[in-house]
Amino acid sequence: MHEVRIDGETLTIEDVVKVAYNKAKVVIPEKVKARVKACREFLEKLLGKGEVIYGVNTGFGALSDAKISEQELKQLQTNLIRSHAAGVGRPLSTEVVRATMLLRANTLAKGYSGVRPEILETIVEMLNKGVHPIIPAKGSVGASGDLAPLSHIVLVLMGEGEAEYKGKIMSGREAMLEAGVKPIQLEAKEGIALNNGTQLMTAIAAITVYRAENLIKTAEIAAAMSMEALLGISDALDEKIHKVRPHKGQAVTAKNIRRLISGSRLVQTGKEAMEKIGRPHDPYCLRCTPQVLGAVKDAIAYVRKVVEVEINSATDNPLIFSENGQCLSGGNFHGQPIALAMDTLGIASSIAGNISERRIARLLDEKLNNGLPPFLIPPQAKRGLSSGLMTAQYTAAALASENKVLAHPSCVDSIPTSANFEDFVSMGTTAAQKALQILENTEYIIAIELLCAAQAIEYRGPEKLGKGTKKAYRKIRETAPPIKEDRPLNPYIEKLKIIIKEGTLTKELPIS
């Protein structure tokens, strides 16, 4: 089994996926434990001197003017978690919960939060033993971070709340007992150190970025197959075109499609097309694929950079800088970087789905598909009696339309909280959840395009495909055999969506 070491500095998106999906073991290096312990000892010295520290011996938010006595410090932290566990709605997926727990542990490992090492060790033990708190999906405005969702995690750490363990939902205390994990009594600073931060939105972001990278490569495969199925014109892929408009993603997408269709006997040059059909180029959904999908690739690359910074950041408050002898209150819990990035990713994914839906529609329309049968009805089926893949495009259209609504940015919204003391919030968690939903919708749209393109290729001759698209076609046919009569399309679409999510098609093909 893979191990993932957390040190607050070097965690990767791939590490997050390993822990979230593959349940990789999480390890805390000894130097991290020593760093966390040193920070805690410094905090205790400050408290011993009677210093007033926000959230440690004061109230929270608009109640920060209230002073808390030494005898009440533990109760203050426990009350914080109980009162802030106010999320509602369906539980988040186990994968998102695991990713969130990992990121919370990683930020504590940086050594600026002032918690005891036992806190970090217990979160990691819960992860490794499969104790997964039940976190309602809604309730975060993205500042002071993901307060409500993170509080639901901490409840279980305390032996309260609800958790899933070995496939069963039970009380947090029962789950901890069955797993052999000792619940924690929170001490000074530990509650606010655990529920202040951007870990839920960032966990969703990390998972979404990883899947988006698989999606965009698969979208290039689908576009290449559709180009061949529609007897497309290759001139628009010429390297010279993309060198004079040197956006990186555009050039990479054009190069990927050129590689995929290399050796194809279905695509044609502009000169050949002019002689055969009287036009030198394709409609935009084919001709502009490098420009569109390339821009999406560039957007995903930007989002990856933001997420890579955030997963290794200290995002709670206040932060303790023992080396400088300071405890500072700031705003690293504010989710604006993730909010803006995830809205961007949602918009980008929606665009990838939009252009795919247009290629699907063209493949199925006998007036536009260069001689293919209407709706790709099998040749042995009777026109009118059979509908072929007609309704696959309906589904793609429904998903694309839903994406357009979801793509409205959350990051431009704000609503005051805590009696107007926390008066500008990020809505980062909403942005992240929407981006993941858009991504999933687009995975389905690309799955539908793969299904339609593969079916269209049956009429053109799979042996005429390019070197890369031929491999893709064969892989698709392992999951979705040719359609010879009307049948439910849902099982094929669902299976193709899984191979997109898992990146199955991209592993053996010459694309980057």
Strands 319-321 and 326-328: antiparallel
Q: Is the peptide bond prior to 144 cis by the omega test (within 30 degrees of 0)? A: yes
Phi, psi of 342 (to 5 degrees): -75, -30
Neighbouring CB atoms inside 10 A of 60's CB total: 23
**H/E/C letters for each residue in 421-433?**
CECCCCCHHHHHH
Preceding peptide of 183 cis, ω within 30°: no
What is the Cα–Cα distance from 378 to 365, expressed in whole angstroms?
14
Amino acid type, 449: E
Compute the distance between CA of residue 107 and CA of residue 104 in angstroms, rounded to an integer: 5
Active site residue 54: yes
Q: Residue 83: CB partners within 8 Å, gap ≥ 6?
A: none
Q: Given 21, 54, 302, 459, which residue is catalytic? A: 54
DSSP 334-391: --HHHHHHHHHHHHHHHHHHHHHHHHHHHHH-TTTSSSPPGGG--TTSPBTTB-TTHH
| Other CB atoms within 10 Å distance of the CB of residue 236 | 21
On the 0-12 / 13-18 / 19+ scale of CB atoms within 10 A, 80 is buried
**Pair 445, 218: CB distance under 8 Å:** no
- Beta-strand ranges (E) seen in 261-379 are 319-321, 326-328
Residues known to be catalytic: 54
